[in-house]
Amino acid sequence: MSQPKLPEDFDPVRAEAFGNRMEDLFNQMGLVLMLGIGRETGLLDVLAGRQPSTSRQIAQAAGLDERYVREWLGCLACGEVVAYAAEGETFALPGEHAAWLTGGSPGFAPGSGFPGAEWLAETFVILSQVQPLVTDCFRSGGGVPYSAYGRFHELMARDRKAFFDQILLPAVLPLFPGWGKAMEQGAAVADFGCGSGHVLHLLAQVYPKSNFTGYDISPADIDRAQAAASRLGLVNVRFHLADVAGLDVERTYDYALAFDSIHDLAHPAQALGVIARSLKPGGSLLMQEFAASSRLGENLDHPLGPWLYAQSVLYCMTVSLSQGGAGLGCMWGQERVLALLAAAGFDQVQVRRTEADPYSDYFVARVSAG
């Protein structure tokens, strides 16, 4: 078979460098899949904080088949996730790696503002399952409905709970002087696209004199939000199943929240108009979006650029397009956020960032007092 003719300016050094990157993708893919198994089987938890141990000791502690555990450890040792000592044939998980890999505490590597690899592994599996449906959309347009994503919302709810537990009260609220005091005295607050409601659960506990209302279009999320509020015995928080863009709420709230939700909506411009009108004169919206530019050229060095655009293709943009929506995608960027906020009637907008969440922009947008 004849070799394809190479272009005249073909650079073999560049080709080799790119080939090495492609090869490394196999390694990363293998690690992601094995980390998923490590989380499901509890192996990562068994390894965390454990003295260097043999595969037999680790398998025994985890109650798993030694042959599988040994091969799994081989992957993690080659990938420099666990340290291997050839002499005693032992494996150890460094504490700094365990902070990323083991669930719950901390669900986020300290100071990274991004979920640990356990989330990555589960996300990889779920998004792989919808990949064929998204591929069809490349040919025929349209999108993939929320119903196709199975456990994805449950997974996001868990991830977001860990995220908000860690940063909402200590790092995000202090960015907005005055909010805490007003909620202490009693304010009406609504969360638009509240998901499983954890932000409101946290706030309702800390500010019992305030009233909190959450809106979301997903029945499963609203059920989870209500169930958690009942479990916590909260009487100052309510959740409603609703499409934000269709709400008819006028001059009701002092503060509105929209965390990571506006870009997912089918009709974000309409929804921001609804949110602006739902605020009392002088009221403010706090909106979280991924920190990005609306110009691709300015996102090329983003440390998570490829992943965030992929997430947008596989979920954010696509769920919006499935409803005939705008399909903004999660990388729509600060310039477009500011333009949409202005068009919706917000007249003073500030953008804030916190080291605790370096991948987000926090917008505080006020409607005029007049």
Q: List residues near ligand SAM by CB under 6 A.
A: 156, 160, 193-195, 215-218, 221, 243-245, 259-261, 264-266
Question: Can you tell me whether residue 94 is helix, strand or coil?
Answer: coil
Q: How far is the CB of 285 from ligand SAM (least distance, A)?
A: 13
Q: How far is the CB of 11 from ligand SAM (least distance, A)?
A: 42
Q: How far is the CB of 315 from ligand SAM (least distance, A)?
A: 8
Largest distance between two CA atoms of the chain: 79
Query: Could you please report the per-residue DSSP string of 319-334?
Result: HHHHTT-----TT--H
**Smaller CB separation from ligand SAM, 76 or 156:** 156
Q: How far is the CB of 263 from ligand SAM (least distance, A)?
A: 8
The dihedral formed by the CA atoms of 351, 357, 358 and 364, expressed in degrees to the nearest 10? 0
**Smaller CB separation from ligand SAM, 229 or 245:** 245
**Smaller CB separation from ligand SAM, 58 or 330:** 330
How far CA 229 is from CA of 2, 147, 211, 266, in Å, comes to 68, 24, 13, 28
Helices (H), 188-238: 198-206, 219-231
CA 56 to CA 69: how far, in whole Å? 8
**Smaller CB separation from ligand SAM, 265 or 279:** 265
Q: How far is the CB of 198 from ligand SAM (least distance, A)?
A: 7
Going by their DSSP bridges, the two strands 90-92 and 279-290 should be labelled as: unpaired
CA 311 to CA 293: how far, in whole Å? 16
Q: Cβ-closest residue to ligand SAM?
A: 195
Which secondary-structure segment (H or E) carries 61?
helix 55-62
CA 1 to CA 49: how far, in whole Å? 55
**Smaller CB separation from ligand SAM, 188 or 265:** 265
**Smaller CB separation from ligand SAM, 216 or 357:** 216
Structure tokens at 303: 């440390």
CA 45 to CA 116: how far, in whole Å? 13
Q: How far is the CB of 145 from ligand SAM (least distance, A)?
A: 11
**Smaller CB separation from ligand SAM, 81 or 319:** 319
Q: How far is the CB of 259 from ligand SAM (least distance, A)?
A: 3
Rg (CA), the chain: 23
